[in-house]
């Protein structure tokens, strides 16, 4: 049996991402229609709808982990490709402290700006990103890739720890 060529494998991974993103867009649109068609229910049970939104976000994040895992399996055979993949993961992890910094601006975290919602969603997805980083770190077979994925994981963990510390400090300061 002949192995599938690398370009074909990468196209299949790209198709997997496309399917996941199309499914996510459809699910978000269906959720939007629910809000539009039943505004009185949203007003009466806002917390339940917020929990449903959060569960949808987690589901979409987990769906994105599947093609990412397959991508890591495909590129792990090539040092250059896995190094590039690791650099992308490092760039992704750098968005976490950036989002935490943006959310530290009172005009952003106390308003209804789209930027604030995007940054908050990025931080809420941090545990899912950590799962992807841990798996990528375990699959890394080259020194540079191992180092870059470790840096990405450390950035993600430290940002989440800093966010938790800021939240606890803020709550303690408001209590008196």
The C-alpha atoms of residue 171 and residue 161 are separated, in whole angstroms, by 15
pTM of the entire predicted model: 0.87
The C-alpha atoms of residue 115 and residue 98 are separated, in whole angstroms, by 12
> Helices marked H in 45-142 — which ranges?
46-75, 79-103, 106-109, 114-124, 126-139
Return the higher-pLDDT residue of 111 and 136. Answer: 136
DSSP assigned state of 2: P
**pLDDT beyond 90 at 171:** no
DSSP assigned state of 104: T
> Which residue matches tokens 């992807």?
132
Each residue's pLDDT tens digit, 117-165: 899 999 999 999 999 999 999 999 999 999 999 999 999 999 999 999 9
How would you class 25 by CB atoms within 10 Å of its CB: exposed for 0-12, middle for 13-18, buried for 19 or more? exposed
The C-alpha atoms of residue 4 and residue 25 are separated, in whole angstroms, by 30
The C-alpha atoms of residue 14 and residue 19 are separated, in whole angstroms, by 9
Which tokens in the block code for residue 67? 């093609």
For the chain, what are the domain ranges?
1-75, 78-176
**What pLDDT, on the 0 to 100 scale, is given for residue 28?**
96
Mean pLDDT of the chain: 92
The C-alpha atoms of residue 172 and residue 153 are separated, in whole angstroms, by 29
């Amino acid at each position: 049996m002949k192995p599938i060529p690398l370009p074909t494998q990468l196209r299949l991974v790209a198709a997997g991402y496309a399917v996941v993103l199309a499914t996510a867009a459809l699910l978000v649109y269906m959720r939007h229609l629910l809000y539009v068609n039943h505004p009185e229910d949203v007003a009466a049970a806002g917390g339940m709808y917020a929990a449903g939104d959060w569960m949808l976000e987690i589901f979409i994040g987990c769906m994105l982990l599947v093609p990412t895992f397959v991508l890591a399996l495909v590129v792990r055979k090539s040092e250059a490709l896995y190094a590039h993949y690791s650099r992308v993961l490092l760039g992704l992890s750098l968005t976490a402290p950036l989002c935490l910094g943006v959310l530290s601006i009172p005009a952003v975290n106390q308003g209804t700006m789209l930027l604030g919602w995007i940054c908050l969603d990025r931080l809420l997805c941090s545990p899912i990103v950590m799962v992807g980083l841990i798996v990528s770190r375990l699959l890394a077979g080259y020194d540079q890739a191992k180092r870059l994925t470790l840096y990405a994981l450390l950035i993600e963990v430290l940002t989440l720890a800093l966010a938790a510390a800021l939240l606890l400090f803020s709550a303690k300061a408001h209590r008196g």
